[in-house]
Structure formats: structure tokens, C-alpha cells
Amino acid sequence: MPYLGNNPTANFATVTKDTFSGNASTTAFTLSKPATTNGVAVYVENVRQIPTTAYAVSGTTLTFTGAPPSGTNNIYVMHHNTPVSTATHPAAQNLTAVNGTFTGDITINDGTAADKKILFDGNAQDYHVGLDDSADSLIIGKGSALGTTTHLSINENGFLREPEIPASQNSKNVNSQAQTISGTTNYVITSLNSSYYNSHSVNNKSYFDTSNSKFTVPSGEPTAHYFCFLHVLVGITRPSSGVNWMFLAIRKNGDDTNGVPFQAYREATNGMGTSTYVYDSNVVGGVIRLEATDYLEPIFSGSDGVAINIHSGNYTSFSVIKIG
């Protein structure tokens, strides 16, 4: 078209037009590109329709309130060409998008004291990453509520904290454990129920079962390394001659052949005092790799027919902690 003045720096934009044929029953039609209800002009039989009243647009779907009449190309849609610009989203409104790319920094919150999070809304389980402003900590947790089930936190000094590291420490109760060794039998140290020194007992995540003295990694837990430590005050019957012996160990999965990575050995002779029992402290421990359902238990054994006495109280304790 003719115009007055200098040549324009850009060409005029081309308006996109979609054309459809009505059949008196179809109400939904697919547009050639995404649009909004007020971003298009819709005509039926050359009569412009009222937005939201006669039709609505969501993405590429045009939906009429009532089915347009039958006709060939009796429906057409004119797409308004919007200028390319930078828009500022209203601060008080939620932003919903399928995906997006950010080329700059993203700032969450405005510097005021408030907990904020990013929520990952899963099908079966939700997770969140957020700021616990009262503790000045970055939180990674399960669920939609910040701080309800925290799995990992990092404070302002860079210290990493796993709130519930699997760990147990249990002492023997007030009753000692006397056992006469039969053959090559191994015996589990029992009654490690921490009733004697309860204030020092630990059983995070309840991996340790006081009824059987087993520290068991639950099903579903990842493979990890654990530090285990066994301290026992043990009495060995003093022989009239020769040597009586005993050994102390931490056994894995009940395997007496290949599952005893940590052991301690002790002997008693007639020349060791005048008491019935020769008492001495024994310590055994180390780092071991455990998988889900693996378990550890403290055991002892000794010379066939020899009486062994495991002392009570905090003289005997069994500890395990996950280290990574």
C-alpha cells in the first residue's frame, strides 16, 4: 500500500489466518500456533464472535461455546501479532510454564526473613530444596513442607549435616554373661540393652535390635562403610596348668568362616593371680562395608570346656556408626 514519508526500517508483519469448516456438531478446532482467547479474532459466517462468551482458546485449541453451523470455510481466525518485548511478571501472581531457560541469575525471596523452597512435585513422592531462614541453613528434604523430613542440611559455615546418621551404642545391663564353652561354638554377647548406662545409649534410626544384639542395615538402604567397635571386660577361668584362651570378634551375617573381619585373642595361665577368673579388657573394631540387610553382631568363644564371664555395665559395649 502507498504511504507518505521515509521507507520503513522493517517490513509489515503478516497476519496468520486459520480457516475451518463447521458441521453443526464440532466445537473444538486446532489452531496453527498457540494463542490466547483475547489474542485472536474469531469469525463465524463473517460475524465476529465475543471472546470468552462465544469461544475460548488454550494453547492451540479453539473451543466454541456452541457448535458453529455447517458450511465450507465458514469459520476463520485472525491471529493478532504482538510486539516482541520484555515483560515483567506481576509479583503477586503465580507463574506457570512447561519449561524455560534462564541465562541470568535467579533470586528467590527479597532479603526478608522467610523460609523459601523449590518443590519437586512427584507422582508418588515429593522433595524440596529450600532455605530454613531461622537456622540459616540450606535444606534438602522429603515432602512438600520445608523442614518436616530433612535429609541433608548445610549451615552458614559450610558444615554438612545428615540429621539421622545410623548409629548405635549399647552397654550390657547389670547382669554379667557366664558361659562354659562347648567345642568350637561361638556365642553372641547378649543383653546389650543399654539399661545400665541409658544416658549414653544411642540408636539412631533403630538399626540395633536389643533382643538379639544385631545391627542390621534395613532393606532399601544404599551400600556404605561403617565403623564398628566392641569393648569387653572378660574373665577367663584360671587353669591349674597350661593355657585357657578366648577370642572376641564382630561377625557379619552370622558367617563364622568368612564373616569375622575383626578379632581379638586373650590367654590365661595359672600364674595370673589367685582368683577364679583372670579379667582383662579387650577391644576390637574397624571399618566394614555393609549392604542392605547385612548385619553385625558381637561374639566370643574359647577353649573347649572353659568358663568365660562377660562383665556387665559399661565395661562391655558395642557401637556402630555409618561413616560414608
Between the alpha carbon of residue 276 and those of residues 167, 187, 238, 273, the distances in Å are 37, 21, 6, 9
Query: What pLDDT was estimated at residue 1?
Result: 55
pLDDT exceeds 80 at position 199: no
Q: What is the DSSP string of 136-190?
A: TEEEEEESSSTTTEEEEEE-TT--EE-TT--EEEEE--SS-EEEE--TT--EE--
Query: What pLDDT was estimated at residue 256?
Result: 84
d(C-alpha 259, C-alpha 288), whole Å: 11
Q: Model confidence at 195, in pLDDT bands (50, 70, 90)? A: low
Query: What pLDDT was estimated at residue 45?
Result: 95
Q: What angle do CA 317, 323, 324 make, to 5 degrees?
A: 150
pLDDT in tens, 41-85: 999 999 999 999 999 999 999 999 999 999 999 999 999 866 555
Considering only the C-alpha atoms of the chain, give the largest distance between any 2 of them, rounded to a whole number of Å. Answer: 126
d(C-alpha 117, C-alpha 230), whole Å: 43
Query: What pLDDT was estimated at residue 19?
Result: 96
Q: Model confidence at 172, in pLDDT bands (50, 70, 90)? A: confident
d(C-alpha 39, C-alpha 46), whole Å: 18
Q: What is the DSSP string of 177-241?
A: EEEE--TT--EE-------SSGGG-EEETT-EETTTTEEEPPTTPPPEEEEEEEEEEEEEEPPSS
Query: What pLDDT was estimated at residue 101?
Result: 83
- Comparing 63-72, 160-169, 221-230, 296-305, which segment has the lowest mean pLDDT? 160-169
Query: What pLDDT was estimated at residue 281?
Result: 86
Query: What pLDDT was estimated at residue 173?
Result: 77
Q: Which of 249, 278, 250 is nearest to 264 (CA)?
A: 249
List CB contacts of 211: < 8 A, sequence separation 6 or more. Answer: none
Cell of 190: 547378649
pLDDT in tens, 238-252: 888 889 888 899 999
Query: What pLDDT was estimated at residue 151?
Result: 82
Instruction: Give φ, ψ of 296 to 5 degrees.
Output: -120, 150
- Contact yes or no for 268/244 (Cβ under 8 A): yes
Look at the alpha carbons of 272, 273, 275, 278 in this order and tell me if their dihedral is positive or negative. negative
d(C-alpha 43, C-alpha 36), whole Å: 15
Query: What pLDDT was estimated at residue 247?
Result: 87
Q: Model confidence at 155, in pLDDT bands (50, 70, 90)? A: confident
Topology of the domain comprising 167-322: Jelly Rolls (2.60.120)
List CB contacts of 157: < 8 A, sequence separation 6 or more. Answer: none
Query: What pLDDT was estimated at residue 290?
Result: 95
Instruction: Give φ, ψ of 199 to 5 degrees.
Output: -65, -20
Query: What pLDDT was estimated at residue 96?
Result: 78
Query: What pLDDT was estimated at residue 171?
Result: 84
- Residue identified by cell 469448516 is 21
> Which residues, listed in sequence order, are joined to residue 20 by a DSSP beta bridge?
75
Query: What pLDDT was estimated at residue 122?
Result: 87
Query: What pLDDT was estimated at residue 86?
Result: 61
- Residue identified by cell 540450606 is 138
d(C-alpha 206, C-alpha 184), whole Å: 32
d(C-alpha 74, C-alpha 21), whole Å: 6
DSSP 51: B
Pairing of strands 208-209, 214-216: antiparallel
> Which residues, listed in sequence order, are joined to residue 204 by a DSSP beta bridge?
167
- Comparing 56-60, 160-164, 198-202, which segment has the lowest mean pLDDT? 198-202
Residue boundaries of the structural domains of the chain: 17-79, 116-161, 167-322
Percent over 90 (pLDDT), the chain: 34
Percent over 70 (pLDDT), the chain: 91
What does pLDDT average to over the chain? 85
pLDDT exceeds 90 at position 10: no
Pairing of strands 317-322, 177-180: unpaired
Region 273-278: what's the mean pLDDT?
82
